[in-house]
Amino acid sequence: MSLKRICIPVFIFLNISLINCGSVLTTEVFEIVIDQAWFNWTNWTFNANPTQFIYQPSLSGAPDLPDWINYIYNDQRNVGYLYGVPPNTAMEVTLDIVGLNRKTYKTEQRQLTITVVEKLNPAKYEVELKIDNLNVEDMFDVDRMDRLKDVFKKHLWNDSEEDLYMTYLASAIDLGARLPLNPKEGEGVVLRLGSKAPFSEELAKLQDEVRPLLKVSPCPRDFKRTSVERYFREAGFALDWCSFSLISTMQDPELPLEDLAKSSEQKLIKNQWNAYSKNDVPQRSYVHEFLFTILVPMFVMTILAVLLSLILCFHHEGIQDPLSEEYFENLYHICTDYVSSKRMENSSIAEITQYATINRVTYTLRSLSNQRDFTCLSPEMTGGSQSHTNSPTSTISRGIHCRPSPPPYIKPKFSAEF
Q: Would you place residue 117 in the very low, low, confident or very high pLDDT band (cuts 50, 70, 90)?
A: very high
Q: Which residues contact 21 (CB under 8 A, 6 or more apart)?
A: 32, 112, 113, 114
Higher per-residue confidence, 314 vs 8: 314
Q: Would you place residue 1 in the very low, low, confident or very high pLDDT band (cuts 50, 70, 90)?
A: very low
CA-CA distance, 128 to 114, in Å (whole number)? 27
- The pLDDT value recorded for residue 40 is 77
Torsions phi, psi for 129 (to 5 deg)? -130, 155
- Residue 223 pLDDT > 80, yes or no? no
Q: Would you place residue 84 in the very low, low, confident or very high pLDDT band (cuts 50, 70, 90)?
A: very high
Convert the pLDDT of each residue in 161-198 to its tens digit. 889 999 999 999 998 888 888 888 889 999 999 999 99
Convert the pLDDT of each residue in 11-30 to its tens digit. 333 445 556 566 899 999 99
| Torsion (CA) 50, 56, 59, 62 in degrees, nearest 10 | -160
Which of 196, 195, 143 has the alpha carbon at shortest distance from 164? 195
- Residue 105 pLDDT > 50, yes or no? yes
Buried b (16+ CB within 10 A) or exposed e, 310-342: eeeeeeeeeeeeeeeeeeeeeeeeeeeeeeeee
Average pLDDT of the residues in 104-112: 88
CA-CA distance, 142 to 236, in Å (whole number)? 14
Query: Is the pTM of the predicted complex or chain greater than 0.85?
Result: no
Count of CB atoms situated within 10 Å of the CB of 266: 9
Helices 322-329 and 331-376, axial angle in degrees (round to 10):
60
- Residue 264 pLDDT > 70, yes or no? no
Q: CB–CB of 37/81 below 8 Å?
A: no
- Residue 125 pLDDT > 90, yes or no? yes
Least confident of 123-127, 167-171, 218-222, 395-399: 395-399
CA-CA distance, 194 to 121, in Å (whole number)? 11
Task: Indicate the burial class of 86 (C-beta count within 10 angstroms; 0-12, 13-18, 19 or more).
Answer: buried
